[in-house]
Amino acid sequence: MEEKIRHLLASLVHPETGQDIVSSGFIEHIASAAGKITVVLRFAKARDPFAVKIKNQAEELLKREFPGQTVLVVIKEGGAAPRPEPKLKTTTGGIAKVIAVASGKGGVGKSTVTANLAVALRNMGFRVGILDADIYGPSQPKMFGVEGYLPDAVQEEGADHIVPAEPMDIRLMSIGFFIKPTDALLWRGAMAVSALKQMIHQTRWGTLDFLLADLPPGTGDVPLSVFQSIALDGIIVVTSPQELVSMVVEKAVKMAEKMDVPIVGVVENMSYVACPDCGKKIYLFGEGKSEEAAKRHSLPLLAQMPIDPKLAALVDAGKIEEFEGAWLDPAADAIEKAEKRAE
């Protein structure tokens, strides 16, 4: 399948070089699984004037040749992203940086932010994984369209490993792969913590530049277990602009301080609605609350994500990787620049 895709793409020519995009080295990655085709194009020149044209041609070609498949073509620009050195050694490779995405309360869109951050980092050229540590409300499988994935168990070097899903070149492990989406998980704290530790240490992550841990809301047993099981390099705090924002940030800051983990910054979700006719920003819950709360703790407000119907529709359809909003790019940049902690 992937060889056929590569052969088809060889028919596309870059207007400036006059050579096909395959032999010219523009194809960075091709994947085909679970009814989805992903192609990553790498353009050496930043803001290549022909990048979008070639992307559209590739999508049209693949959709025509594979009418039953979902097609995603991603553009990356500039040279390959610099690789941070692996810090956390695993039996299958190494993980350079581990970043937790946390919130002091539920319902602020923490998992949506995690998924979008993973896509943004992948589009920057990094190898990315997601640990869906939200034991009681796993939503990453739904967002990436891999709800029906059943992880295989393999034995390597005398140890058992769980094979993660790999939607759109992002490695994903979630408790949602082991239960029905409608099942209520009635595990007590100790059972949940045990399952989480197994997912952390037995998943075949391979070599990753970044592992994003989507934590459950609050400061209970499971979030604390993540802090204790992995040496985190930083935390992204997700909040929303309601009056409770100060409490949300305060709880997350106190938890991070107790566990001696640096906070990369704050992301405000559901900040505003953009008028579809004039583009004016409408602040449904007021303006400036998250920025004030972040300033009180000397933290940067990295991004303000609006309420976007397109994003909601893609989440429901399991196609979050197709969203093209750039609001979280500053947060992805901050994660890239976050200093690694000593082991």
* 282, β-bridge pairs: 273
Q: Is 333 exposed, middle or buried (0-12, 13-18, 19+ CB in 10 A)?
A: middle
pLDDT tens, 57-97? 999 999 999 998 888 888 877 665 555 555 555 544 588 88
Q: Directed axis angle between helix 2-9 and helix 51-65, to 10°?
A: 130
Give Cβ neighbours of residue 11 (< 8 Å, ≥ 6 apart): 20, 61
- Please give the full DSSP string across 209-221, using - where no structure is assigned: EEEEEEPPSSSSH
**Domains, in order of start, for the chain:** 2-77 (3.30.300.130), 88-337 (3.40.50.300)
Contact (CB, 8 A) for 212 and 118: yes
What is the Cα–Cα distance from 72 to 338, expressed in whole angstroms? 30
Name the residue with higher pLDDT: 140 or 188.
140
What is the rounded CA–CA span in Å between residue 229 and residue 118?
21
C-alpha distances in angstroms, 275 versus 66, 283, 312, 328? Answer: 36, 11, 16, 20
Residue type, 299: L
Spatial separation of the C-alpha atoms in residues 110 and 214, rounded to whole Å: 7
Q: Does the pLDDT at position 193 exceed 60?
A: yes
**For the segment 280-316, what is each residue's pLDDT rounded down to a tens digit?**
889 888 787 788 888 888 899 999 999 998 888 988 8
Res 41: pLDDT: 86
Contact 304, 272 (CB under 8 A): yes
Q: Which residues contact 206 (CB under 8 A, 6 or more apart)?
A: 90, 92, 93, 127, 171
Q: Using one digit for the tens of pLDDT, what is the confidence trace for 237-246?
A: 998 887 676 7
